[in-house]
Amino acid sequence: MSDGRADEVDRVSASAERVWVLDDPRAGTAAQAIGIAERLGVPFRRIPLGWNWMAHVAGLARWGSLLGVAAPARSASGLLTVPGEPGPDLVISSGSRSAAVALWLKRRYGSRIVHCMRPGFGAVGRYPQFDLLVIPQHDRPPEADNVLQVLGAPHRLSPLILGQAASAWRERLSHLPHPRVALLVGGPVRSTDLVPALAHRLGAAVSVLTAERGGAVLATTSRRTGAEATDALAAGLAHGLHVLYRWGEPGENPYHGFLASADAIVVTADSVSMISEACATTAPVFVALPELAGARHRRLIATLHRAGHIRLFDDDLPAWPRVRLDEADRVAAEIRRRFALG
């Protein structure tokens, strides 16, 4: 193929990516928008964002602004197309800081906007400017035609990804007996000082219950757990057969593999993302350490409990049938219905 022909193919491929996803640097925030885009079944372009101190000020601009986008991100992200090239038909964004960028793109290109989470301070009066707002029930969204309420937070953990993870980890976990209990341990929000006594108590309780059933624990920690609490967790898990992944240690993070291989899941109450992702499986989900939950987390736990997706961990692991929660796919279906996409 000649260079000219290759350039033409690249140009056509780029122009076909009429869905843009604003990629916030915070992984849990970006995963909501990316997860929805991945379920649409069409090409999309990820626009990496970075922020400066003006990000929150830019959020007050009625029609959006790029003021809050850091200069390196603005020049490298592809937000500005060359003259004559079309912008996106659809922008998918998440988080309050991305809302201003999405509105700016709508003003410039006439794009439709699908935005996850509340748009942030000062944006309530601009709700009608968003074509679809995807807001969790636990954030108490208003009733409106352009508001879609979801359970938990959309994410990227689709049935396909879980199936791939199960296959990838099947041989590596084959020596561990069933039932396998995945234990997902976080920590205090915006901190890394989980109380070691809590970690030890939880590890021992899950380990003993699992050992009584002849099974094994698949445990992971997060960046918020902290080294001291992780050591305490390991001591508690010593009551039975287990595997422990310590956050940041070398090698592949087995988080997806553990979720995909679990017969039951215990997750701490501090993370909207971990709780939502646990519910993407068909295993029973138990929420532990409610003392770590803030007000939003408590509302999330209450809504998921009412819907039958979780139970509170109370030194028992009873099995019950539950249906996989797949809100990203439901949002994608609503986008295709409303905007004739695909």
Give the C-alpha distances (Å, rounded to integers) separating 2 from 5, 6, 235, 324: 5, 6, 63, 49
N-terminal to C-terminal alpha carbon distance within the chain: 29
Q: Mean pLDDT, to the nearest integer, of 150-172?
A: 96
Buried b vs exposed e over 97-120: b needs ≥16 C-beta within 10 Å?
bbbbbbbbbbebbebbbbbbbbbb
pLDDT band at 301 (very low <50, low <70, confident <90, very high): very high
Answer yes or no: is pLDDT of 185 > 50: yes
pLDDT, mean of residues 329-336? 96
Output 95 or 57, whichever has higher pLDDT.
Answer: 95
Predicted confidence at residue 73, as pLDDT, reads: 63
Gap between the Cα atoms of 165 and 177, Å rounded: 18
Domains for the chain: give ranges and CATH numbers: 3-155+329-339 (3.40.50), 159-312 (3.40.50.2000)
Residue-level pLDDT at 15: 41
How confident is the model at residue 79, as a pLDDT? Answer: 66
| pLDDT (tens digit per residue) in 186-215 | 998 766 779 999 999 999 999 999 999 999
**Per-residue DSSP letter, 69:** B
At 123 the pLDDT is 53
**d(Cα 324, Cα 331) in Å, to the nearest integer?**
15
Query: Residue 2: helix, strand or coil by DSSP?
Result: coil
- pTM exceeds cut of 0.95: no
In order of 130, 197, 248, the CA distances from 34 in angstroms are: 18, 37, 24
pLDDT at 152 over 80: yes
Q: How much is the average pLDDT of 25-44? A: 93
Encoding tokens for residue 214?
Answer: 């002849």
Q: What does the alpha-carbon distance between residue 274 and residue 194 come to, in Å, rounded to a whole number? A: 16
* Structure confidence by residue, pLDDT tens digits, 208-266: 999 999 999 999 999 999 999 999 999 999 999 999 999 989 989 999 999 999 999 99
Q: Measure the CA dihedral 15/21/26/29, to 10°.
A: -170
Tell which residue, 28, 19, 21, 95, has the closest CA to residue 58: 95
Q: Strands (DSSP E) along the chain, which ranges? A: 19-23, 44-48, 90-94, 112-116, 132-136, 147-150, 180-185, 216-221, 242-245, 264-268, 285-288, 311-312
Q: What are the tens digits of pLDDT across the range 79-114?
A: 665 556 778 999 999 998 899 899 999 988 899 999
Q: State the pLDDT at residue 156.
A: 96
Going by pLDDT thresholds of 50, 70 and 90, the confidence category of residue 280 is very high
pLDDT of residue 78: 62
Q: Which residue has the higher pLDDT, 87 or 3?
A: 87
